[in-house]
Amino acid sequence: MPRLPLLAFAALLLAAIFSPASAQAQAQFPSNGEHLIISGGVALRKWENLRAPGTQHDRWWGNFIRPARVRIQQIQKQNPNALITWMVYRNAYTMRSAEDQRDLIALVESVRDAYRVRLVWFNSGDQVISHINNGQNRSRTKIVSFEYYGHSNKYCFMFDYSSAIYGASKGYLHQRDLSKISSRAFAKGAFVKSWGCHTGESMSGEWRRVTGLPMIGAIGKTDYTDPVNVSLSPGSRWTN
């Protein structure tokens, strides 16, 4: 295999280190502040079973719970005393509990108890905005990281996609509502990333316009086949 010239190798190394795809692992957070993790809801199997094989979502109920748990572990490894708030869309897990005949609410709360984080159940985009602006004594405790795991399109986070309605969402946070967010809620240089599909195609730009912070998002789709290591689908890329 031919060797790269030293300068070319260095350039490739720097590109890998500072690319949006590796930003989560490389992010350095301020020591004092709140880490805010959002888990959207999963679809109901009765709707997803109407789709053709290979196009179905959320065969496992924990698609958006497991990666949040992994992220909590990563943050706590970096800072054992980190203040972490985990917001989870309750309606979808209540409905999926009935379908799966398992108490998924209790399973989510067991993650809270195991890692001693603050769990906030929510049922609307306005509740997410309210926590961003007013939670954790916001005038003194700024948000140092914000990450979203769930369904999304280019314009919004879809918290209950194919849960209440087949192929649609009743609970969401649309980019037109981002103007309600106070940029003062975030620490300077806060890390922001959406792990949903298509966010980088529109919503990331609106987020930056409103808050002054870049939001890393996907152009194309993301893949939760391995929820411990959420990745990009073939042909997709990260942008901010």
Q: What is the pLDDT of residues 132-156, one digit of tens each?
A: 999 988 999 999 999 999 999 999 9
Q: Please give the mean pLDDT across all residues of the chain.
A: 87
Between 227 and 214, name the one with better pLDDT: 214
For 219-230, how does the pLDDT look when each residue is reduced to its tens digit (9 = 90+)? 999 999 999 999
105 pLDDT higher than 80: yes
Q: Shortest CA distance to 171 belongs to which of 69, 41, 70? A: 41
Q: How confident is the model at residue 128 (pLDDT cuts 50, 70, 90)?
A: very high
Predicted pLDDT of residue 179: 98
To the nearest 10 degrees (0 to 180), the angle between helices 66-78 and 104-115 is 10
**What gap in Å lies between CA 233 and CA 41, rounded to an integer?**
20
Are 82 and 75 in contact by the 8 Å Cβ rule? The answer is: yes
22 pLDDT higher than 80: no
Query: Of the given ranges (51-60, 169-178, 211-220), which has the lowest mean pLDDT?
Result: 51-60
Sorted by where each starts, the structural domains of the chain and their CATH numbers stand as 33-239 (3.40.50)
